[in-house]
């Protein structure tokens, strides 16, 4: 497949934005492969994702800031450029439950995720055999009482050493410190085992069972300093009944968790997500 590039753009809504962007690419020999846009009427915002073929494109990507920058400044754009040849480097964090880890590594090995996964980090040993089967180093860093700050310092050193672009919490059942979150703004994806904002925090399946809900869900979101409150990327639900026990909710919920998390990771890797405020736009 030919290489492509992506522009993600956010700016005040105004006339002529689509034609301006399209003309810029056309004038330099760009063939648009995909283009999608969204207007937030309440905030007066325009959001766009445009992907184009780099074959025959007259500019090197390093030249785009100097060529497109003046246009962006004139129109008040915040923008980001990505290339399909740049495979983000992902660190997977996991605790005892390994179903999301297994699913992500399977998809990675099957070529579904255009990324690199150079390491797995855990505070337990349950996932070591899975990581070893994929020839991916597994780093167990325990979190003893009073030792969380030191453990997180070791984690951050690993992330820096391996030049990590994205952290995925694949059922990593620990609250990250503000320092960790600040190092990876909108670059930490978590899977929460409920349909947020319902049943945030610990033991959501038990909370759902006690309330007698008829639907359970899973939510993938970017991590912020506020627990389970970051911009939501993807959600899905499954119907349950009065016959289901907590164990049934957990089993059905784990199937949802795997799918919802893998979608979020794939969309991030493919540069399909724009964050604005507490929301996301996910371009198809």
CATH placement of domain 89-282: 3.40.50.170
Span(s) in the chain for CATH 3.30.70.260: 4-83
- Output the pLDDT for position 52: 97
Instruction: List, for residues 217-241, the tens digit of each pLDDT value.
Output: 999 999 999 988 999 999 999 999 9
Instruction: List, for residues 78-135, the tens digit of each pLDDT value.
Output: 999 999 999 999 999 999 999 999 999 999 999 999 999 999 999 999 999 999 999 9
CA distance 224 to 178: 8
- Output the pLDDT for position 1: 56
**Per-residue b or e along 228-255, where b marks 16 or more CB atoms closer than 10 Å to that residue's CB:** bebbbbbbbbeebeeebeeeebbebbbe
Instruction: List, for residues 27-60, the tens digit of each pLDDT value.
Output: 999 999 999 999 999 999 999 999 999 999 999 9
Q: Taking 60 as the threshold, does the pLDDT of residue 137 lie above it?
A: yes
Query: Do residues 104 and 36 make contact, with C-beta atoms less than 8 angstroms apart?
Result: no
- Output the pLDDT for position 59: 96
- Output the pLDDT for position 227: 87
CATH fold for domain 4-83: Alpha-Beta Plaits (3.30.70)
Q: Where are the beta strands (DSSP E) in 152-254?
A: 166-169, 188-192, 215-222, 232-239
Q: Taking 80 as the threshold, does the pLDDT of residue 2 lie above it?
A: no
| Residue tagged active-site, from 53, 103, 228, 244 | 228
- Output the pLDDT for position 32: 97
Span(s) in the chain for CATH 3.40.50.170: 89-282
> How many other β-carbons are positioned within 10 Å of the β-carbon of residue 105?
22
How confident is the prediction for the chain on average, in pLDDT?
95
Q: Taking 90 as the threshold, does the pLDDT of residue 280 lie above it?
A: yes
- pLDDT (mean) for 151-173: 97
What does the DSSP assignment read for 6-60? EEEEEEE--TTHHHHHHHHHHHTT-EEEEEEEEEETTTTEEEEEEEEE-TT-SS-
Burial grade of 99 (CB within 10 A; 0-12, 13-18, 19 or more) = middle
**Catalytic status, residue 255:** no
Whose structure tokens read 């964090």? 93
CA distance 102 to 112: 14
Copy the structure tokens of residue 115: 């990324």
Query: Do residues 94 and 172 make contact, with C-beta atoms less than 8 angstroms apart?
Result: yes
């Amino acid at each position: 497949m030919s290489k492509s590039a992506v522009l993600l753009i956010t700016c005040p809504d105004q006339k002529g934005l689509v034609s301006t962007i399209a003309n810029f690419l056309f004038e330099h020999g760009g063939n648009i492969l995909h283009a999608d846009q969204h207007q937030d009427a309440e905030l007066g915002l325009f959001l766009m994702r445009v992907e184009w073929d780099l074959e025959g494109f007259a500019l090197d990507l390093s030249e785009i800031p100097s060529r497109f920058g003046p246009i962006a400044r004139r129109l008040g754009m915040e923008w980001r450029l990505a290339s399909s040849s740049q495979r983000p480097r992902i660190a997977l964090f996991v605790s005892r439950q390994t179903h999301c880890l297994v699913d992500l590594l399977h998809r990675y090995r099957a070529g579904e995720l255009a990324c690199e996964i150079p390491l797995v980090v855990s505070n337990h040993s349950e996932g070591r055999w899975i990581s070893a089967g994929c020839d991916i180093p597994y780093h167990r860093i325990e979190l003893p009482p009073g030792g969380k700050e030191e453990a997180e310092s070791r984690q951050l050193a690993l992330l820096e050493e391996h030049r990590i672009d994205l952290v995925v919490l694949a059922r990593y059942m620990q609250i990250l410190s503000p320092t960790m979150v600040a190092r990876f703004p909108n670059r930490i994806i978590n899977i929460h085992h409920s349909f947020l904002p319902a049943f945030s925090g610990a033991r959501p399946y038990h909370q759902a069972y006690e309330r007698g809900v008829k639907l359970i869900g899973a939510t993938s979101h970017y991590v912020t300093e506020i627990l389970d409150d970051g911009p939501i990327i993807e959600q899905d639900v499954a119907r349950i009944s009065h016959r289901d026990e907590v164990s049934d909710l957990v089993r059905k919920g784990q199937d949802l968790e795997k799918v919802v998390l893998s979608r979020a990771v794939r969309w991030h890797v493919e540069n399909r997500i724009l964050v604005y405020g507490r929301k996301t736009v996910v371009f198809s």
